[in-house]
A = this chain, B = another copy of it.
Amino acid sequence: MAKAAPWPLDAWYVACTPDEIADRPLGRRICGKAMVFHRGKDDRPVALEDFCPHRGAPLSLGFVRDGELVCGYHGLTMGCEGRATAMPGQRVAAFPAIRAFPVLERYGFIWVWPGDPAQADPAKLHPLFWADSPDWAYGGGLYHIACDYRLMVDNLMDLTHETYVHATSIGQKEIDEAPVTTRLEGEEVVTSRFMEGIHAPPFWRMALRGAGLPENALVDRWQICRFSLPSHVMIEVGVALAGHGGYHAPADKKVSSVVVDFITPETETSHHYFWGMARSFAVGDAALTDTIREGQGKIFSEDLEMLERQQKNLLAYPDRKLLKLNIDAGGVRSRMAIDKAIAAETALAAQAK
């Protein structure tokens, strides 16, 4: 039996953002599968195998005509269900079909379901309460990172690394010193850390200033990391003026946001990292959105070299067991949830035979 892929297939993954398919088709490998994305007849997003059944050309090198992909090599027109609909001078009825993947557009993202289409229930999409609310603003970006997507999950479910990797922006010694708690909340793995009566690090000083609060005041700071399947990590972060209830402080005494991380596997050693920040302060300030995006992009780029070099080291020492400390509990539990989901899919597939 073939070794199962190291990711759940029956799940909604972020595939791309709408701007990426605004002008032309987009080719992107997701969970090991070469896909092409475009907008179909009704403007709804479509995901197909990026492989023309005629001569194997990538359909993503073609163009969209009347909502259908036209192969850029010999003009085969591919319907949105993966069956050729036309080709100059040819009858296409007997042409072999290619796979169409279930797709959704929601919350400002295009989502794809790489697994069994019969299981692709839109209700299984992870809800994002902030995405449809006028009280929240969002900005983000995309990085391609050459490491196993689970190393990114580990990274985000243990923010101790901020002290070291992001020393000049969001890191501070107190993160190390505060104990971390990991628990399950329904199907979510939640790792949280609270710091009281500390000085805010540079990023949060900027946020306090932006919200009209005193940037040099002592604050209470929180980080609540929430992992949900298949590989989303939402992190509630913020600071409140000290002594006003911290996380539960009234809105005018705190600045807070949600760090948004959608981690989409590409291959076993690479992934697409959709990062961003949703905030509930100064939501009408588009310039602030840009400033935050730029700052966050810079901070998150600091993780890249570390993660890619970690990946290389792990490939070089495949037999070496890594430590699972209390600070690693978030990543460890998240991986358990991933493994459980994969095992359930494998069992379901075996049953179906």
Contacts and interface: CB of A to CB of B under 8 A. Distances in A.
A62 interface: yes
A154 B154 CA distance: 48
B88 A177 contact: yes
B165 A72 contact: yes
Q: Is the interface of A mostly helix, strand, loop or mixed?
A: loop
Q: How large, as a class, is the contact surface on chain A?
A: 35 or more
B58 A310 contact: yes
A314 to B, nearest CB: 5
Contacts of A96: 323
Nearest to A302: B72
Given A89-B326, A176-B75, A56 B163 contact: no
Given A55-B328, A62-B164, A74-B161, 14 more contacts: A54-B322, A54-B325, A55-B323, A56-B314, A61-B305, A61-B309, A72-B164, A74-B160, A87-B325, A89-B176, A89-B179, A89-B326, A90-B326, A96-B323
6 contacts: A55-B154, A55-B310, A57-B309, A62-B164, A88-B160, A90-B325
Interface of A: 34, 50-51, 53-58, 61-62, 70-75, 87-90, 95-96, 154, 158, 160-161, 163-165, 176-177, 179-180, 305-306, 309-310, 313-314, 316-317, 320, 322-323, 325-328
